[in-house]
């Protein structure tokens, strides 16, 4: 049976039903029942569960079993959501997936406490998985890379955070596409890469198979973030689950659509965009609309979509030498899903 967008969603839903109870067990282990609501909120607001899905499909592709990978899959989703809790605090985001963020609902101090629990739970899950030391090292390096990418992303902001001297001192004066791709390789792609590698490790795969899975996941992650950037500017806000133009509101140049648009626009139009991003006041809805209208005058969306497709094709190329089975086909289908999604 060919893998379609709907069948990918079906698989992700099935695996979510398997992994979510494991996630909640890890998060709540050793924590008083009165605090479970705080810890469970981030997980219960939804999510596509792509990262555990990648781990599970990668493991099954190499002949492993669901029970081999289920705790590692849970750890990867916890790690992902840990970074989202922190990211929402850094960006002062009130909503995610159309629900209040942890800090917005429970306050900064409680969000920080939840973050500690999530960080520890990542490694508790790893300890219940095969090849513990190898998996733990992978998760540790991945989390460090994501932190490095987040620091860079904040440093791409054009103004604001005047009370944070490290940011103002280290803010990028100019941002190239190369800088952008380096940033997203750490902030986003490294976790999808690790998800696939973790699945291979839990299956006891050969190092070459794990390498190919990792390369697949990395390219998939690059495509995922480029698509996220497209959605940030062009999505239907209700479907997207986040505010459209969030990167403009946060005065970031870490969005490939904005970078590509700036390459095309006239000096006058470029100055209008830079004027919004470099302003000393909060960006208004009217200014967001103005910047988006300027971007729509260019072919930035089409160019970004082509970049995403190229990364997807690279990802698919890495699958060719893996065992030919339904799980390899699912991984191929997931590549399409990543660039066809609307949220």
Which tokens belong to 242?
């986040």
State the pTM of this model.
Answer: 0.95
Structural domain for 22, as ranges: 5-229+311-340
**Residue with structure tokens 């470099």?**
278
Within a domain: 36:
yes
Query: Does 17 map to a domain?
Result: yes
Is 220 part of any domain? yes
Contact (CB, 8 A) for 289 and 282: no
pLDDT of residue 239: 65
Task: Give pLDDT tens digits along the chain (343 positions).
Answer: 567 888 888 999 999 999 999 999 999 999 999 999 999 999 998 888 999 999 999 999 999 999 999 999 999 999 999 999 999 999 998 988 889 999 999 999 999 999 999 999 999 999 999 999 999 999 999 999 999 999 999 999 999 899 999 999 999 989 999 999 999 999 999 999 999 999 999 999 999 999 999 999 999 999 999 999 999 999 876 666 667 899 999 999 999 999 999 999 999 999 999 999 999 899 999 999 999 999 999 999 999 999 999 999 999 999 999 999 999 999 999 998 988 876 6
Distance CA 323, CA 333 (A): 16
**Side-chain half-sphere exposure of 83, counting CA atoms within 13 A:** 21
Asked if the structure places residue 298 within a domain, the reply is: no
Tokens representing residue 289 in the block: 């609309």
Decide if 258 is inside a domain. no
| CATH number of residue 61's parent domain | 1.10.600.10
* Residue 171 confidence (pLDDT): 95
Longest Cα separation, the chain? 59
Answer yes or no: is 286 within a domain.
no
If one counts the domains in the chain, the total is 1
pLDDT of residue 206: 97
Residues across the chain? 343
Residue 180: inside a domain, yes or no? yes
Q: Is residue 270 part of a domain?
A: no
């Amino acid at each position: 049976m060919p893998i379609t967008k709907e069948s990918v969603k079906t698989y992700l839903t099935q695996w979510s039903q398997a992994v979510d109870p494991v996630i909640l067990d890890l998060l709540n282990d050793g924590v008083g029942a009165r605090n479970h609501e705080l810890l469970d909120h981030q997980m219960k607001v939804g999510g596509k569960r792509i990262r555990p899905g990648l781990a599970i499909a990668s493991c099954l592709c190499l002949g492993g079993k669901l029970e081999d990978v289920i705790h590692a899959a849970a750890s990867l989703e916890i790690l992902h959501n840990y970074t989202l809790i922190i990211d929402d605090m850094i960006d002062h985001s009130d909503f995610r997936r159309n629900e209040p963020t942890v800090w917005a609902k429970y306050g900064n101090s409680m969000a920080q406490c939840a973050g500690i629990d999530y960080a520890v739970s990542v490694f508790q899950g790893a300890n219940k998985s095969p090849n513990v030391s190898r998996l733990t090292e992978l998760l540790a390096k991945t989390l460090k890379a994501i932190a490095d990418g987040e620091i860079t992303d904040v440093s791409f902001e054009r103004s604001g955070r005047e009370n944070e001297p490290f940011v103002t001192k280290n803010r990028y004066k100019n941002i190239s596409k190369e800088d952008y791709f380096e940033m997203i390789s750490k902030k986003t792609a490294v976790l999808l890469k690790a998800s696939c590698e973790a699945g291979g490790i839990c299956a006891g795969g050969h190092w070459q198979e794990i390498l190919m899975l990792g390369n697949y996941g990395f390219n998939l992650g690059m495509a995922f973030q480029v698509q996220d950037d497209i959605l940030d500017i062009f999505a239907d806000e209700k479907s997207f689950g986040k505010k459209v133009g969030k990167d403009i509101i946060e005065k970031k140049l870490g969005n490939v659509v904005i970078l590509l648009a700036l390459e095309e626009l006239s000096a006058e139009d470029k100055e209008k965009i830079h004027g919004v991003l470099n302003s000393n006041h909060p960006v208004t809805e009217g200014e967001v609309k103005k910047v988006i209208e300027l971007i729509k005058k260019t072919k930035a969306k089409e160019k970004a979509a082509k970049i995403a497709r190229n990364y997807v094709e690279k990802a698919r190329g890495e699958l060719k030498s893996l065992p030919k089975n339904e799980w390899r086909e699912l991984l191929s289908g997931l590549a399409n899903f990543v660039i066809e999604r609307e949220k």
